[in-house]
Structure 1
Amino acid sequence: MNRRGLLRGAAAAAATGVLLPAARAHAAARADTDYPPARWAPASTANCTASDRPSEYPVEYVVIHVTQLGFTDTLRVFQNPAKRVSAHYVVRSADGCVAQCVGESDVAWHAGNWDYNTRSVGIEHEGWVDRPKYFTRAMYEQSAVLTASVCDRHGIPKDRAHIIGHCEVPGATHTDPGPLWDWARYIQLVNYV
């Protein structure tokens, strides 16, 4: 089996996501995900905007984030209607497990810039910007497979002009994914899939 097949197989094997009790009631409303290996762990509907993308807004970017929290805590934040934040996906550090929290047709509130929120898919990565041990091989590989899938489905070029860090969003006050994120490795993986 070639590397592409191994990465895809690993993505499917890593999909042992966490569905918190508060989200289980909503899971029946969406039995599938936009990215089949992902587990559905819905954000509160108070933390995103229902839309019909790409009809309403073109999807032109993937925004890479680092959570500054653990995986399960991030899902809890997205499920708390008082937090007013979400992302489309969260990738776990240890094994690359992917949870989908907002459908790609909807607008997640992740970039801190409404224009970029409407035109992007946000992917959070478990970890802290100053702790590179969280940027594991499994996380990079599974995230790259996810990002390649998003790019393929939306016709997004797989380059640094379209796959950007949260810190590169105009007006951003965040520093993630930070200087320890290996962009060269990540973009190479995205293009290898």
Structure 2
Amino acid sequence: MHAGHVMAGLGGASGGDGGVDAAGHGGEYAEAAGGVISHNPSRVDGTSDRAESVEERMGKSGGEQGDGEHTDRAHADGGGEAAAGVTRRRALWIGGGSVVAAGAAAFAARDELARWWWRLPGNDKPRAAGEVDFRGARWVAASPANYRRADRPADYPIDRVVIHVVQGSFATALRVFQDPDHEAAAHYVVRKDGYLAQTIRELDVAFHSGNRGYNERSIGIEHEGFVDRPESFTTAMYASSARLTAAICRRYGFPADREHIVGHVEVPGTDHTDPGPHWDWDSYLRLVRAELRRTARATEGPPERNA
């Protein structure tokens, strides 16, 4: 079992595209080899499911048409006007179903195109250099080898925060995240004094958890320190990290609970143990929820006074 996120991969990459080591810190190669979730955008966003439903409906329409032909033959044999009426109703139903199916297929195609048009050459989604998603964070760009460009949450809905511990210093985390041979990185790094760096835009899929599905749906936050040293986790670090996590919960609309805020150790398929036994989950979640309440009150403003 690897304790933290960074130190286990400092020896260099042992895999291909995105594979750091046996731990699989989050690289694409390691995730694909594990077979956790296939990287199929249409499967992720549901368009394949919609297309299958259309095909099923069209198949059913074909079956009904066969029944109608049988009814026509019955009518020719003396089945009467009632059979003809049923046939006409079936024909109308078939025609209407075909229109609905064609419309659904067109909608799915348009939805897919809207998600992926900017990936075509010359259509890159606009991104300002050095722009951060959390006010006060310092931008320190990770190597492009350590993440995958995306258009989240349009292509991959975000509903998780994954908590990591570096097993090293703040500076160490930034250094290895800038190293293309490391092939892993988290979106943010938090220092002991609460100082924050953002290394990957939240739009993009960071290779941080060792599970492709979790990478696509989550934001990864690294914390300076060591899992076996309780002094690593300072009050300033908890407070700063909680403000960041609350902002992420608010931005993407998911609750601040242990289903949606998890440790690296809880990611399926990982062999990491961070954030470890000294991470105070109860205090951390209280801080996140308190921050959410505070920002909600600030948004609502003061109560109106009676005239």
Answering whether residue 160 of structure 2 is matched by residue 61 of structure 1, we say: yes
Max Rg structure: 2
Q: Does 1:48 align with 2:147?
A: yes
CA RMSD, Structure 1 to Structure 2 (Å): 1.1
Instruction: Name the structure 1 match of 2:214.
Output: 116
SS of the residue 2:220 aligns to = strand
Residues of 2 paired with 1:68 and 1:91: CA distance?
13
Normalising by structure 2, we get a TM-score of 0.53
Task: Give the secondary structure class of the aligned counterpart of 1:66.
Answer: coil
Of 287, 298, 305, 1:189 maps to 287
Deviation per residue, 1:18-57 (Å, 9 max, x gap): xxxxxxxxxx962320001100011001110000000110
> What is the aligned counterpart of 1:152 among 227, 250, 259?
250
Give the 3-state SS of the residue equivalent to 1:142 in structure 2.
helix
Q: What letter corresponds to residue 173 of structure 2 in structure 1?
A: T
Q: Which runs of 4+ in 1 moved over 6 A?
A: none
The one of 59, 76, 79 equivalent to 2:175 is 76
Residue aligning to 1:171:
269
Report the number of matched residues: 165
1:132 aligns with 2:226: no
Q: TM-score, normalised by structure 1?
A: 0.84
Q: What SS does the aligned partner of 1:90 have?
A: strand
Unaligned runs of 5+ in 2: 1-126, 292-307
Structure that is richer in strand per residue? 1
- Counterpart in the other structure of 2:88: none
Decide whether the 8 Å contact of 1:148 with 1:158 is kept in 2: yes
Aligned to 1:69, what secondary structure does the other structure show?
A: coil
Asked whether the equivalents of residues 30 and 40 of structure 1 are also in contact (C-alpha less than 8 Å), the reply is no
Quick one: distance in 1 between partners of 2:179 and 2:130?
Answer: 21
Q: Percent identity?
A: 57
Q: Residue 9 of structure 1 aligns with which residue?
A: none
User: Which of 278, 282, 285 is the matching residue for 1:180?
Assistant: 278
Amino acid at match of 2:209: A
Give the residue type in structure 2 aligned to 1:183: W
Q: Once the two structures are superposed, what CA deviation does each residue of 1:55-86 show, in whole Å capped at 9, x if it has no partner?
A: 11000100000000100010000000000000
Instruction: Answer yes or no: is the 8 Å Cα contact 1:102–1:108 preserved in 2.
Output: yes
The amino acid of 2:181's aligned partner reads A
